Amino acid sequence: MPPFEWSSDLETGHAAIDEQHQSLFDLANRLEECITCDADEPELVSDAIYRLNDYVIEHFAAEEALMAQAGYPRVSSHRSEHERLSADTMRLMAAYFNGESVAATRIAPFVTSWLQNHIRQEDMRFVRFLGDTGTAGQ
């Protein structure tokens, strides 16, 4: 069983957003697998860290574009939360690449915990807004 489980209570009802969220959990699990199984191959860990970070950025950009297109009134505060997660993740990545091996073990749990809270609160609020405007599930 993967350490970072996607569960139905994280489903927003918006197909594209849910698919991206599930991909983020898959990437976090891949990172965790690389850390626990491939300690002798740091390039696998580095690659998994970069993949997770790159996809987080890609997902945030897609979500923010959808919000702007829908005229979501909380897009600025939502973007600020995304920026905060990105900055915190970059700090952990920098620590890892500066030789702090423990930092790698903190990245996936940090990202998935943050995402769970963010999805349940902010992303659900956004999808409710889309439902109110008749554009949910797109």
Q: pLDDT digit string (tens) for 118-129?
A: 999 999 999 999
Instruction: Give the residue ranges of DSSP H helices in the chain.
Output: 15-37, 42-70, 75-97, 101-118, 124-133
Contacts of 98 (CB under 8 A, 6+ apart): none
**Cα-to-chain-centroid distance, residue 68:** 19
pLDDT at 45: 87
pLDDT at 40: 65
2 within a domain of the structure (yes/no): no
Q: How confident is the model at residue 67 (pLDDT cuts 50, 70, 90)?
A: very high
Query: What share of the chain has pLDDT > 70, as a percent?
Result: 93
pLDDT at 72: 96
Rounded to whole angstroms, how far apart are CA atoms 105 and 36? 9
Domain of residue 61: give its range: 15-133
Q: Is 1 exposed, middle or buried (0-12, 13-18, 19+ CB in 10 A)?
A: exposed
pLDDT at 105: 84
Long-range contacts (CB closer than 8 Å, 24 or more residues apart) made by 77-82 = 78/122, 78/126, 81/118, 81/122
Instruction: Provide the domain count of the chain.
Output: 1
89 within a domain of the structure (yes/no): yes
Decide which of 138 and 110 is more confident: 110
Decide which of 114 and 102 is more confident: 114
CATH number of the domain bearing residue 83: 1.20.120.50
Length of the chain measured in residues: 138
Name the residue type at position 15. A
pTM score, whole prediction: 0.87
24 within a domain of the structure (yes/no): yes
